[in-house]
Structure 1
Amino acid sequence: MKSFRRVQGSTGSADLRYRLALAREPKPRDAGGPPLRRLLAETQVVIEPVRRLARNLEIAEADNPRKVMLLPGFATHPVRMRYMARQLERAGHKVKRWGLGFNFGPTLENFEILERRLEELYRRYQEPVYLVGWSLGGLFARELARRHPEMVAKVVTMGSPFSGNPRANNAWRIYQFITGHSVDSPPIAGDAGSKPPVFTTALWSPRDGIVSPRSACGKAGERDRAVALRCTHLGFAYSEESIRAVLRELDEG
């Protein structure tokens, strides 16, 4: 597929035109994302803080506390995963941020920082780390595990588009505009569908309004296990069933 490549040194209006061109690329016919009704359902995230006031999750203490790194989704900050982090910590797990702030896509520089962050946690605790990645954060987690399997105990992805056409979602145009690169040509080399050499679980949902459920579920050979939930895409970060699914994955080791 034709893709635009940025001219080295381009700035200002030239860079804006380039990003707009990326955002206007035609969508392939075989890359259908979730329907509009699913996308609209994602707006329920605005009332989640109110719902949370009436929620009282009973969290059992983990038999084997883990060291966990949470990797946020595209254009989100680790604070969006704070609620999940607190529930995992209530079970006794030690939860760490990824150390990069907002997730505005991969670059050579931020991935090197992330690799150093993983190595730091691995050496500090003298044991492999569990990586839990939401959406784009799951792609980072899979690539980290491919490069450093000795430092990763398990990868859990939540609504991450690692399988099939990278345009099979409702966010690829804004992704290309913000990152300045095509989803077909990310700056970090790697095969998103290639299974990391560690146990990998894919949490996916037929109610996902942003990423195609097929892309998040993956095929046999691209992950070790796929678990279907009933949450929205944004709900992966806060829904009770998502939190409990992650707790189960940590308990199983």
Structure 2
Amino acid sequence: MSASGHPARQHEPAPGFMLKMMEARAIWEHCASLAMRPLWGAAATGDGHPVLVLPGLAAGDGSTALMRRFLRSRGFAAAGWGQGLNFGLRHGVVERAHERMRQLWLENGRSVSLVGWSLGGLYARELAKHSPEMVRLVITLGSPFTGHPRETNAWRLYEFASGHRIDWHDFSGPLRAAPPVPTTSIWSPTDGIVAWRCSLETRRFLAENIVVESSHLGLGAHPATLYAIADRLAQPEGNWEPFNREGWRRFVYCDPERFRAHHEKKAEAHGHMAIHASPAE
């Protein structure tokens, strides 16, 4: 039993040492997007609807500046969340984010798309569940909505930043439920902060996964991520279709179902080998 009286639960391991060290490539991923700015015009064009971008843990609007600049260049009315640094689920945070979304909805007279990076993706999903009539679609980037903070390498930082300890019941039930709007989860199999399984969208209706080979800290600035975000946001409202991986895209975005099946088969094989390798009683 946990200290709170709830049953203790085993969780998946967080990304290992090598993946954590590979987070240093985030610098290259940011620089690559800036270097490819002359090619931004190849991305899909927006229709001017508002897009609210929510930052990750211990990050603020500065971390999403490149993404918002890109989105504005493609014709989207991208806006930051305006709350400074994201210190976790403190009192009033989600309420203020909701008010920011409502403000954009009223000012533009159109539904708002939500893009949330890491912890910001959890906020985006909650906002869409609370007021789906205001939300056009949700895009999450490396967000642990099917897991728990202890399945990431940021849970200690979360406890320090938010000022309270976390337990399994804090991130179960309603928080894991899918929003009733089109939802795209973009994640990386080599994420050094959040295990990819924590970001896997398993819902079949109006939901999808897009795989980008990236670090966690660079996922929101990676050129492939930016292209995919623009593609998703550019869809006509009410005519959502899954991401098209045909042609050159199949060389950039691997098949998430095939990736998942491969790793499940690999894990099953390892488990079978472990059983046979155990000493006889």
Query: Which TM-score tier does this pair reach, normalised by the shorter chain?
Result: 0.7 to 0.9
Q: 1:153 aligns with which of 128, 132, 136?
A: 136
Percent identity of the aligned residues? 35
1:106–1:187 CA contact under 8 A, matched in 2: no
CA change 1:96–1:59 in 2 (3 A) is same
User: Does 2:89 match 1:106?
Assistant: yes
- Give the 5 Å matches for 1:23-62: 29-47=10-28, 51=32, 54-56=35-37, 57-60=39-42, 62=45
CA deviations 1:50-75 (Å, max 9, x no partner) are 55564333324615232101000000
Higher mean alpha-carbon deviation, 111-120 vs 56-65, is at 56-65
CA change 1:43–1:216 in 2 (3 A) is same
Distance 2:113 2:21 in 1: 32
CA deviations 1:128-164 (Å, max 9, x no partner) are 1000000000000000000010111000000000003
Specify the alignment match of 2:115 in structure 1.
Answer: 132
If each structure's helix is expressed as a fraction of its own residues, which one has the higher value? 2
2:67–2:220 CA contact under 8 A, matched in 1: yes
Q: Could you tell me which amino acid in structure 2 is paired with residue 92 of structure 1?
A: G
2:33–2:221 CA contact under 8 A, matched in 1: no
CA change 1:93–1:237 in 2 (3 A) is same
Decide which structure has the larger Cα Rg and report it.
2
Secondary structure of the 1:225 match is: strand
1:69–1:132 CA contact under 8 A, matched in 2: yes
Distance 1:90 1:62 in 2: 9
Structure 1 residues not aligned, in runs of 5+: 6-26
Q: 1:212 aligns with which of 162, 185, 195?
A: 195
Higher mean alpha-carbon deviation, 44-53 vs 161-170, is at 44-53
User: Does 2:157 match 1:174?
Assistant: yes
TM-score (norm 2): 0.75
How much has 1:226 moved relative to structure 2?
A: 0.9
CA change 1:188–1:128 in 2 (3 A) is farther
CA change 1:244–1:49 in 2 (3 A) is closer
Secondary structure of the 1:215 match is: helix
Distance 1:118 1:44 in 2: 32
Specify the alignment match of 2:249 in structure 1.
Answer: none
Distance 1:145 1:165 in 2: 20
Secondary structure of the 1:191 match is: helix
Q: Could you tell me which amino acid in structure 2 is paired with residue 236 of structure 1?
A: L
TM-score (norm 1): 0.82
Over the aligned positions, Cα root-mean-square deviation in angstroms equals: 2.6
Structure 2 residues not aligned, in runs of 5+: 237-281
Secondary structure of the 1:163 match is: coil
Distance 2:171 2:80 in 1: 21
CA change 1:222–1:188 in 2 (3 A) is farther
CA change 1:35–1:223 in 2 (3 A) is farther
CA change 1:188–1:218 in 2 (3 A) is closer
Secondary structure of the 2:167 match is: coil
How much has 1:101 moved relative to structure 2?
A: 1.2
Secondary structure of the 1:227 match is: strand
1:34–1:212 CA contact under 8 A, matched in 2: yes
May I ask how many residue pairs the two structures share in their alignment?
232
Secondary structure of the 2:210 match is: strand
CA change 1:154–1:69 in 2 (3 A) is same
Specify the alignment match of 1:22 in structure 2.
Answer: none
Specify the alignment match of 1:244 in structure 2.
Answer: 227
Secondary structure of the 2:146 match is: coil
Higher mean alpha-carbon deviation, 135-144 vs 163-172, is at 163-172
Secondary structure of the 2:116 match is: strand
How much has 1:188 moved relative to structure 2?
A: 9.6
